[in-house]
Amino acid sequence: MAVLPIVRFEDEIVEIVERNTVIVIIGETGSGKSTQLSQILHRRGFTRSGAIAVTQPRRVAAVSVSRRVSQELGVHLGEEVGYAIRFEDRTSAKTCIKYLTDGVLLRESLSNPVLNQYSVIILDEAHERSLNTDILLGLMKRLIKMRSSNLKVLITSATLDGEKVSVFFSGCPVLNIPGTLFPVEKLYSTEHPKSYIESSLRTALDIHIREPPGDILIFMTGQDDIDKMVKKLEERIQNFEEGSCMDALVLPLHGSLPPEMQVRVFSPAPSNCRRIIVATNIAETSLTVDGVVYVIDPGYVKQRQYNPSTGMYSLDVVQISRVQADQRAGRAGRTRPGKCYRLYPSSIYQEEFLDATIPEIQRSSLAGTVLYLKSLDLPDIDILNFDFLDPPSRESLADALRQLYLIDAIGEDGMITNVGRTMSELPLEPSLSRTLIEANQLGCLSQALTVAAMLSAEITLRPVQSKDTKRKPQTNMLPDGSGWGDHIQLLQIYESWKCVDYDPDWCTEHNLQVRSMKFSRDVRKQLSQIMQKMAKGPIDAQSSANQRESQEYTTLRKALCRGYGNQLAERMLHHNGYRTLGIRSQLVQVHPSSVLEANEDGQLPDYVVYHELINTSRPFMRNVCAVDMAWVMPILKKLEKMDVNKLSGGFEPEKCEQPLQQPQAPIKEANERTTTGGSV
Ligand code: ADP
């Protein structure tokens, strides 16, 4: 194997780390930042006084890179080298190189604010500008003041503006690792294709037939498109006449691929076989796939954008930035000169693409982040003056404060409450942690834990279609939430699975992914362990007292109403649409995938809570549960009383500053848009 560029700079790296506390390291994707830096520092004695933490914005990268490093060092994963991602910890007392998501490091800093288990903290992939890495940058600034003599902080990036970070860290040194990138010829389309899937397919087949050996990497926007593309490619290639061209192996690559499938992209192609890798933007910088010579770049990415004035997420296919386009092209020139097929005109690249991607902090809901910062309780940290590399808009901060107030995490004066403090200990989004606390009070914690686990594991329900649903009872039908909605359905599904002793075949019969269901069971176990500390008795011994209560899931729905106090909606009088109850009311619909049922008069429940508002073809509430008016009223009273100026310590949030860059307009091709989105 060729020596990676970073390894050639070992002495320079060690010297600069010895002399400085914070260092920015810029190196091309694939130069070895993620896999080698930690090994170099370990080899050169930096783990004597603590472990090395390497953060990754993506779970899949933390797992994949740690696996690779453990192989390179010839040790078992989980021993000297391990990883920790939310709900999964594969480390031990022996671990001295630990890969973890940036979110997990933030959480660790809650229980150990000085993070003194680590001698080195590497914030990897900082160019991704994930929300959590941005918060960590601010926290590191504080931490080095407290531990300057025994902590080293390395910030690595493939593209980040090194100067900007250096200025942020009072002029820390920037080490540029020159890569060995071969020239990449960029070929532009004359116009935007009508369908980028069809156009990518044609281009890939064309390359496969005409061009010399070398793997092809195609960038798609998400799993659905990848699956379609893989299927189409396989069909077309199978129909080629035998011997007309070399063999081809089509491989998908995205974040939800099972580990055994992910590993396949790291194995070289069999001889006389071309690999065609169909990936999300995960292959842009997070995971380096070797052997790629041809890149097909349709110029799009799927991006979640949060609108703080409506509380609505949209998951849009938007144009990539110039930095992303260049990264994608770079993937073709790692081993020899390559070609990048840009399925858009060069004028679009020049005139329409933004310079860089908008940082996540400027397009996310900040409720969880603000609660986290408040729970740190540091006298010198005030949210409004927190040191952000790029600050979020004041409107976003005000929105977060309102949300937190409505679910009792902060008081009228904006100070964190005891409830808020307990919430911050749970690795869940605020609405779910608040639900668990309420459920504990009301005696339905066991059920609420199941719902939180099922939502966190992002269980996807794929209903089994039958032409004859009315007549034939379907043995493989899933429980239907008894009319109360999706949270109750998730609970019933899990309980049915439990009744068959967690039989994997039951999942398969019901079209549920065994892996996700097992994951939800794991998550539930972990959440139970955390909650057990505050529960009144053994959690799973709890049961509903009376028959009616258990059929109507009253206490659980009441707990959900409290937890989702900032995500309530009221049915419109004359039709089945809803309006959200909050500062700014929105007209929304129940998502078609919901199991919420209308009554005999054809009317949906008067009040519901929703897990998420998402704007696809229309504004929709996803994961909806019916609640009672009596539970909603106290929350509405609170809403009436709310004074945002007080909550925020008088910073006039209504005069909001705009984010540094305006969010991009989504691409308006209906067929390219999606109707799903993970929870925040
Ligand atoms: P960078 O962080 O600078 O982008 P990496 O350290 O991720 O670079 O990658 C360096 C090399 O290690 C690349 O050639 C890449 O293909 C290889 N590599 C990284 N992860 C794995 C893995 N899980 N399995 C096999 N090879 C890997």
Give residue 159's pLDDT: 75
Answer whether 5-177 and 184-361 agree in fold. yes
Q: What atom of ligand 1 comes closest to residue 28's alpha carbon?
A: 3
Does 27 contact ligand 1 (Cβ within 6 A)?
yes
Does 64 contact ligand 1 (Cβ within 6 A)?
yes
pLDDT tens digits, residue range 591-611?
A: 998 999 888 878 899 999 999
Collapse the DSSP code of 302 into the 3-class scheme (helix H, G, I; strand E, B; otherwise coil) and give the result.
Answer: strand
Between the CA of 84 and the centroid of ligand 1 the distance, in Å, is 19
Q: Which amino acid is at 467?
A: K
Between the CA of 30 and the centroid of ligand 1 the distance, in Å, is 6
Residue 162 dihedral angles phi and psi, to the nearest 5°: -60, -35
Does 266 contact ligand 1 (Cβ within 6 A)?
yes
Rounded distance between C-alpha atoms, residue 555 and residue 548, angstroms: 11
Does 7 contact ligand 1 (Cβ within 6 A)?
no
Highest mean pLDDT among 532-536, 554-558, 675-679: 554-558
**Residues 531/449, Cβ–Cβ less than 8 Å:** yes
Q: What atom of ligand 1 comes closest to residue 334's alpha carbon?
A: 14
**Residues 392/366, Cβ–Cβ less than 8 Å:** yes
Domain residue ranges in the chain: 5-177, 184-361, 564-648
Give residue 332's pLDDT: 94
Supply the mean pLDDT for the chain.
87
Is the predicted pLDDT of residue 546 greater than 80, yes or no?
Answer: no
Does 33 contact ligand 1 (Cβ within 6 A)?
yes
Give residue 382's pLDDT: 63
**Residues 326/369, Cβ–Cβ less than 8 Å:** no
Between the CA of 427 and the centroid of ligand 1 the distance, in Å, is 29
Name the residue of 125, 267, 288, 292 to mutate for ligand 1: max ligand atoms within 8 A of Cβ: 288
pLDDT tens digits, residue range 627-665?
A: 999 999 999 999 888 887 888 765 544 444 433 334 444
**Residues 22/175, Cβ–Cβ less than 8 Å:** no
Does 4 contact ligand 1 (Cβ within 6 A)?
yes
Is the predicted pLDDT of residue 515 greater than 80, yes or no?
Answer: yes
Q: Which amino acid is at 630?
A: A
Between the CA of 35 and the centroid of ligand 1 the distance, in Å, is 6
Angle (nearest 5°) at CA 505 between 499 and 507: 70
Does 522 contact ligand 1 (Cβ within 6 A)?
no
**Residues 69/35, Cβ–Cβ less than 8 Å:** yes
The protein residue whose alpha carbon is closest to atom 27 in ligand 1 is 68
Between the CA of 291 and the centroid of ligand 1 the distance, in Å, is 12
Name the residue of 9, 35, 38, 260 to mutate for ligand 1: max ligand atoms within 8 A of Cβ: 35
The CATH superfamily label for domain 184-361 reads P-loop containing nucleotide triphosphate hydrolases (3.40.50.300)
CATH 3.40.50.300 fits 5-177, yes or no: yes
pLDDT tens digits, residue range 248-287?
A: 999 999 988 887 788 888 888 888 899 999 999 999 888 8
Between the CA of 266 and the centroid of ligand 1 the distance, in Å, is 9
